[in-house]
Amino acid sequence: MAGANVTHLTDADFEATIKSSTPCLVDFWAPWCGPCKAIGPVIEELADSYAGKVVVAKMNVDENPATPGKFGIRAIPTLILFKDGNVVDQVTGAVGKAQIQTMLDRAI
């Protein structure tokens, strides 16, 4: 099933998820965002191919406004890669799969 390895985060469980030693890629998105919809299938595909190596998560910025505010997110989609609770990489916009893979590979 596509996207079975994607974790859906809320403001309440965000901190616990990103504090892991396993890298965690968070896709900050919203249902009305066209570029977010475009990158969605890529995120799901990467979640499946990096299962067990990287936690891939999505956070709806409309439903969870506190966390995006903490990280100064002004545009979506924004992808932030965390390791041990720290930001190790970040990209904004509908970037290509290869760029995201490079980001993930550097963190593993």
- State how far the alpha carbon of 81 is from the alpha carbons of 1, 5, 74, 90, in Å: 24, 16, 17, 6
Average pLDDT, the chain: 95
Query: Which domains, ranges and CATH numbers included, belong to the chain?
Result: 6-107 (3.40.30.10)
pLDDT band for position 2 (cuts 50, 70, 90): low
Q: Which residues are catalytic?
A: 33, 36
In the prediction, which pLDDT does 1 show?
45
Question: Dihedral of CA 8/30/10/103: which sign?
Answer: positive
Count the Cβ atoms, other than its own, within 10 Å of residue 9.
23
* pLDDT tens profile 19-61: 989 999 999 999 999 999 999 999 999 999 999 999 999 999 9
What does the DSSP assignment read for 29-87?
E-TT-HHHHHHHHHHHHHHHHTTTT-EEEEEETTT--HHHHHTT--SSSEEEEEETTEE
Q: What is the pTM of this model?
A: 0.95
CA–CA distance, 31 with 87 (Å, rounded to integer) = 24
Average pLDDT of the segment spanning 83-100: 96
In the prediction, which pLDDT does 73 show?
95
- State how far the alpha carbon of 92 is from the alpha carbons of 53, 69, 81, 96, 97, in Å: 23, 15, 12, 11, 13
